[in-house]
Structure 1
Amino acid sequence: MGSTGRRDDGRLAGVRDRDEEGRARNARPRDGLGRPLPYGAAGVERQPEGVVRTPEETVAQAQALLDAGKPFHAHEVFEDAWKSGPEAERALWRGLAQLAVGLTHAARGNVTGGARLLRRGAGALEEWARGAGQWRPHGVDVAGLTAWARERAGAVESAGTALDARESAPRLR
């Protein structure tokens, strides 16, 4: 850092990234698994935050991101649905977001955290489906996803190494 109070990347020291409403936002570039990269590095395009999508758009976009090996970005899509969707479906979208972030951690090599989040997401989805009486909301295969998540959790623990996010991606429908 120079005498001007600027960091080597040109940003002011101690100044946080904020959006137009003053909320903290991290503008650092990220890799395909959402890990922060140094400022100025070429990263993967982030998902815009706060986008309101139909459930069908949410599932389709999240599936495309999962298929591309970008579960962190799929998590952001599910998070938008969780925050903007009807109250009765928030636990569904939160559970799907947990599955995506669990796969993110497992792909990053965080075996314990990945397995834990995959199981937490599976439990959340099952609880929501029992309460709602729906196992295929918006075409999402809740039973298949919970089985997938538990199997992946066991696989990452058995292997003790990172999963390949693209090869391990679930089918949402």
Structure 2
Amino acid sequence: MNKLPTIRQGETLFDKGRYFECHELLEEIWMKSEGKKKVLLQGLIQAAAGFHKLKQGSPEGAAKLFTRAAEKLEKNTVRDAVLLRFKKKVLRKIVPSLSRF
């Protein structure tokens, strides 16, 4: 039986700085999501991709992804406590990064 990844697993990868893996895992969930949850997940995916770009030495690419991610994350809310906690954590991390660019 193939078990779907969870948002908590994505959050753990993000916390460990494993941004590429976080992006890939969240993308699996995103493909099966709808509505506001899908948009929120897209923002988290873009944030993870942005931090991956930073690690690769591409601050311009990171800034673009952070801007898009922040727009999606700031506007959208869902009733999923785990997803909301992850969203707040990511926003706390990307907003200061945006001011550096």
Q: Which residue of 1 is the match for residue 4 of structure 2?
A: 52
* Structure with more helix by fraction: 2
Secondary structure at 2:76 match in 1: helix
**C-alpha RMSD of matched pairs (Å):** 2.3
- Aligned-pair identity in percent equals 26
Amino acid at match of 2:80: P
Secondary structure at 1:52 match in 2: coil
TM-score between the two structures when normalised by the length of structure 2: 0.79
Q: What's the offset of the Cα at 1:88?
A: 4.0
For the pair 1:120 / 2:72, whether they are aligned, the reply is no
Larger radius of gyration: 1
Secondary structure at 1:93 match in 2: helix
Secondary structure at 1:85 match in 2: coil
Structure 1, unpaired ranges of 5+ = 1-49, 158-173
Q: Which residue of 2 is the match for residue 153 of structure 1?
A: 98
Answer yes or no: is the 8 Å Cα contact 1:114–1:153 preserved in 2. no
Q: 1:122 to 1:137 in 2, by over 3 A?
A: farther
For the pair 1:65 / 2:10, whether they are aligned, the reply is no
Answer yes or no: is the 8 Å Cα contact 1:115–1:153 preserved in 2. yes
Q: Which residue of 2 is the match for residue 97 of structure 1?
A: 45
Answer yes or no: is the 8 Å Cα contact 2:10–2:25 preserved in 1. yes
Structure 1 segments (4+ residues) deviating >4 Å: none
Answer yes or no: is the 8 Å Cα contact 1:116–1:153 preserved in 2. no
Structure 2, unpaired ranges of 5+ = none
Q: What's the offset of the Cα at 1:68?
A: 2.9
The count of corresponding residues between Structure 1 and Structure 2 is 98
Q: Which residue of 2 is the match for residue 109 of structure 1?
A: 57
Q: Which has the higher contact order (CA 8 A, sep 6+)?
A: 2
2:24 and 2:88 map into 1 onto residues whose CA distance is 22
